[in-house]
Amino acid sequence: MAQEKFGQDRYLPEGDWTSAVDAAAVAGTKFRKNQAHEFAKAVKVAEQKGLEYGLELEPEPDNRADPNAIKVIGFAETAGWFGRVQFQEWHVGYLHKDLAKTLHKDVLAKDVEIVAELHHVAQDGEKVDIEMSVLQPEEAEPTKQ
């Protein structure tokens, strides 16, 4: 089966953002296969229908394995009953451990907000890859990558 790429409409959160990290793959999607597949399916439908979709970042300071962990949550608008639009969310993975540590030290420790910008979702059979950027407010100091 050939790799299929979709979800490339580049939803941007409101506000003036600049890149903190240009491109990053979401880690751990293979451990969250069901969530990643459900998100991929929802992105495909949302893209076709002109609905909103993207990624959110959620630091997890209480994560036992890594207090620097940053959870990646996929979201998409879906059409519900009677034409009502609703949002659904899926925990699709994490930022890579080293990247999360750098972001904590260089950005989050300074109380600077970070957000995600989805580049694309790539699906090849059972494998789902999610590529994204991490953004910070334009007025924040540049991040050391």
Is residue 145 a part of any domain in this protein?
no
Do 85 and 51 touch, CB atoms closer than 8 A? Answer: yes
Is residue 124 a part of any domain in this protein?
yes
Domain that holds residue 117: 16-137
Is residue 6 a part of any domain in this protein?
no
**CATH number of the domain that residue 105 is part of:** 3.30.70.2330
Average pLDDT value for residue range 59-68: 95
Is residue 8 a part of any domain in this protein?
no
Count of domains in the chain? Answer: 1
pLDDT digits (tens, 9 = 90+) for 78-127: 877 776 778 899 999 999 999 999 999 999 999 999 999 999 999 988 89
- Cα separation values, 121 from 10, 78, 85, Å: 11, 17, 22
Is residue 4 a part of any domain in this protein?
no
